[in-house]
């Protein structure tokens, strides 16, 4: 029997609640396809800071490195907003991405037929949308030096540096072109090359790498235009590749195509190290313990784990199909409720999906 060790980093807020439902789905798929999962938990984020004085303890990093995959909930809480930047929960998320060298973040935005009416956009605009956003995850203003707040010419001045080296762009470009090859073979690279030098290099490298993928139709778009086009005509996009900060913003925007941040999963990959899987939403501390949040983003992240870390497309598909079946049967968490649907809680949604996997 296949056997994998999963590091469970539940994190803060609703993190533990959504991870619990993701585990139900993994176990159900494991049962169906003869895969055994062993789980080990470690602290990350505010809960880790409270217990150990650091949001990313060394043990958490070693567990993540030794596991076959990392399953992460969410980090952060307003009560940590006044902490110094070095120990804020968000720092742990950036730290673990960097420690595992997870430079490629895959964020699909798919509008299931069942959810067309949950989108704030017109049905004819979103029906059939299937976009894969590939966000570079270990560079850009998130990690650029110099950074900080200091006094320049007698004035307090804050700065972060947007920086990409050619090898960083090259490796994300390969992931993007290879992903596009398995999809509709259309890749749109998003940058701000009309203004930023870093974007001019980005575009140059993307164009160079494209020569190795002659079958992929490459286009370029400025980020402001891309933000507009994703709402105006989302179906024009197949695969998008972009830098860390533009990808952060565009992926939240793209989550409104299916109508809820609670629907979007993600995979963070390096190609060689352990992959990490997490919903794109945050820790929603105001909703903690209320059994109201949508676990589907986390459950679909489990599906991505089966596909990208364990190469089991059939098991991955069984989770996706189960999500669709439960939505088709009319069950909804409050964030995606629509006329004529039955509103249920986080746990029941997870249980119904697990049952549908095994049905």
Select the span of 141-149, 175-183, 241-249, 311-319 touching Mg ion (CB under 5 A).
241-249
Is residue 18 part of the contact set for ligand IPM (CB under 6 A)? Answer: no
Active site residue 248: yes
Which helix (H) or strand (E) is 63 found in, with range?
helix 58-66
Q: Please count the residues of this chain forming the interface with ligand IPM, following the rule CB under 6 A.
A: 5
Among 248, 241, 236, 233, residue whose Cα is nearest residue 213: 241
Catalytic residue among 50, 252, 291, 321: 252
Among 76, 39, 54, 109, residue whose Cα is nearest residue 262: 109
Active site residue 252: yes
CB of 76 to ligand IPM, least distance (A): 6
Catalytic residue among 248, 277, 307, 335: 248
Is residue 248 part of the contact set for ligand IPM (CB under 6 A)? Answer: yes
**Residue appearing with tokens 């968000």:** 90
Half-sphere exposure of 257 (CA within 13 A, CB side): 32
Is residue 93 part of the contact set for ligand IPM (CB under 6 A)? Answer: yes
Using the rule CB under 5 A, which residue among 10, 114, 140, 248 binds Mg ion? Answer: 248
Among 305, 214, 294, 308, residue whose Cα is nearest residue 262: 294
Is residue 90 part of the contact set for ligand IPM (CB under 6 A)? Answer: yes
φ/ψ of residue 204, rounded to 5 = -60, -45
Q: Which does 11 bind (CB under 5 to 8 A by kind): ligand IPM, Mg ion, none?
A: none
Active site residue 130: no
Instruction: Report the residue number whose CB is nearest to ligand IPM.
Output: 90
Contacts by residues 195-201 (CB-CB < 8 Å, ≥ 24 positions apart) = 196/162, 198/162, 198/163, 198/164, 199/243, 201/164, 201/166, 201/169
Which residues form the interface with Mg ion (CB under 5 A)? Answer: 248
Contact residues for ligand IPM, defined by CB under 6 A? 90, 93, 248, 280, 282
């Amino acid at each position: 029997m296949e056997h994998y060790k999963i590091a469970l980093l539940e994190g803060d807020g609703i993190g533990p609640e959504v991870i619990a439902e993701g585990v139900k789905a993994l176990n159900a798929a494991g049962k169906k396809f003869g895969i055994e999962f062993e789980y080990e938990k470690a602290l990350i984020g505010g809960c880790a800071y409270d217990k150990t004085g650091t949001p990313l303890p060394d043990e958490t990093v070693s567990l993540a490195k030794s596991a076959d995959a990392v399953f992460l909930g969410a980090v952060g809480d307003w009560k940590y907003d006044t902490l110094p930047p070095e120990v804020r929960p968000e720092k742990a998320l950036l730290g673990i991405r960097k420690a595992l060298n997870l430079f490629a973040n895959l964020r699909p935005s798919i509008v299931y037929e069942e959810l067309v009416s949950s989108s704030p956009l017109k049905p004819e605009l979103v029906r059939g949308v299937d976009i894969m956003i590939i966000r570079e995850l270990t560079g850009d203003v998130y990690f650029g030096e110099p950074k900080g707040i200091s006094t320049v010419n007698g004035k307090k001045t804050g700065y972060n540096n947007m920086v990409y080296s050619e090898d960083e762009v090259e490796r994300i470009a390969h992931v993007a072109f290879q992903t596009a090859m398995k999809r509709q073979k259309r890749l749109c690279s998003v940058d701000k090359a009309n203004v930023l030098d870093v974007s001019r290099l980005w575009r140059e490298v993307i164009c160079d790498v494209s020569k190795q993928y002659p079958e992929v139709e490459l286009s370029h778009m400025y980020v402001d235009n891309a933000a507009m086009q994703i709402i105006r005509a989302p179906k024009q996009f197949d695969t998008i590749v972009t830098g860390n900060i533009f990808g952060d913003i565009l992926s939240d925007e793209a989550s409104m195509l299916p109508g809820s941040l609670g629907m979007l999963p993600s995979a963070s990959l390096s190609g060689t190290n352990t992959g990490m899987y997490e919903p794109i939403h945050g820790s929603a501390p105001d909703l903690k313990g209320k059994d109201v949040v949508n676990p589907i983003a986390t459950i679909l992240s489990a599906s991505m784990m089966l596909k990208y870390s364990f190469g089991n497309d059939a098991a991955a598909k069984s989770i996706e199909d189960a999500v669709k079946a439960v939505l088709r049967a009319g069950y909804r968490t409050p964030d995606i409720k629509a006329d004529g649907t039955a509103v249920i809680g986080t746990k029941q949604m997870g249980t119904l999906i697990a049952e549908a996997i095994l049905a």
